[in-house]
Amino acid sequence: MVGAFLATGLLMFVLGLTGWVRRAMEAVPMPIVMAMVAGVFLRFGIDLVLAFRDGLWIAAPMAAAFFLLSAVARAGRVLPPLIGALIVGAVAVWLRGEFNPPAGVLFAFADPQFFVPQFSWAAMFELVVPLAITVLVVQNGQGFAVLTAGGHRPPINAITVACGLGAMVTGLFGAVSTCLTGPVNAILASAGERDRQYTAALSVALLALGFGAMAPFFTRLLLATPPAFIATLAGLAMLRVLQSAFQISFRGAFSFGALVCFLVTVADVPIFRIGAPFWGLLLGLMASHLLERADFRRAKEQNP
């Protein structure tokens, strides 16, 4: 696996330098890409609803705090809605006695383990291509789509190069490949002035270093909280992104291809070790080329 992680990182690095990734992403219409995002993020919305069934007295006050702070703009500027929901949820969990820490010491620092990579042709054929497609198309594709929908212009090639370099470093410690995740960027681009959202990204980067250093502590902390708390917090964070994804996907051109992409992604059936979001993009693009050729002609006329 470590050898496959390193080879995947090298492949991403080379593809980023060649500019192939940007050309490939630009070839897929935005409605189809956002349909993939909607299909991936849909489970967050469904889990939010199910949280009311499984943990009503945790989900309800969290949702109430979120919507109240969202509705009252002045209060929302003082206390961001998602942070308010987090605080209210933590209090609800504590009052109901549903915080169940594991036996032993709760607080602990990470102890990174270095792995000497081993390479085999079997691992290269079985793992590198699925890993690269998952990172470049599924994970990074979500991040690019979310940022573009939020009015940003992500440097696709530079990000791909950085992900490749990062994957080669983290792979030596047995970590999965570095990627531009959709949910994190969705939260970062969901509030505040667009030109200043980069400050949130820098803050998240610093916090991620701290969370990584104390990964055992935070893992035990999250495992000690009820699933309804996590599901509610994640669902509330994704609501606006889901709304935007559905609006962009089905409001105009390429809507049939977007529908095919959405359905395949939601079905979540992997093929050849490659996740359903990739096949959703591929089949959605094929459906649009077959049945929505006029949309491609209009898009080409508008962007020659």
Spell out the residues 6+ positions from residue 181 whose beta carbon is closer than 8 angstroms to its own: 139, 142, 143
| Helices 30-54 and 276-291, axial angle in degrees (round to 10) | 130
Q: What would the pLDDT profile of 95-126 be if each residue is shown by its tens digit?
A: 999 988 877 777 889 988 999 998 888 888 88
* Domain limits for position 67: 2-302
- Per residue, the 3-state secondary structure of 258-300, as one string, reads HHHHHHHHHHCCCECCECHHHHHHHHHHHHHHHHCHHHHHHHH
Q: What mean pLDDT comes out for the span 190-194? A: 80
pLDDT at position 304 is 62
| Residue 272 banded pLDDT, cuts 50, 70, 90 | confident
Three-class SS of residue 207? helix
In sign, the C-alpha dihedral spanning 220, 224, 228, 233 is negative
What pTM was estimated for this model as a whole? 0.85
Among 55-69, 140-154, 270-284, which range has the highest average pLDDT? 55-69
Nearest to 140 by CA among 267, 8, 21: 21
Residue 302 pLDDT exceeds 80: no
Higher pLDDT, 42 or 126: 42
Residue 117 CA to residue 135 CA, distance in Å, equals 20
pLDDT at position 255 is 94
Count of CB atoms situated within 10 Å of the CB of 271: 10
Residue 195's identity, in one-letter code, is: D
Nearest to 132 by CA among 158, 183, 168, 186: 168
Residue 210 CA to residue 208 CA, distance in Å, equals 5
Contact call for residues 244 and 149 (beta carbons, < 8 A)? yes
Residue 183's identity, in one-letter code, is: P
pLDDT at position 193 is 84
pLDDT at position 163 is 94
Three-class SS of residue 34? helix
Count of CB atoms situated within 10 Å of the CB of 90: 16
Q: What would the pLDDT profile of 199-230 be if each residue is shown by its tens digit?
A: 999 999 999 999 999 999 998 888 899 999 99
Give the total number of structural domains in the chain.
Answer: 1
Identify how many contiguous H helices and E strands the chain contains and give both numbers: 17, 0
Residue 201's identity, in one-letter code, is: A
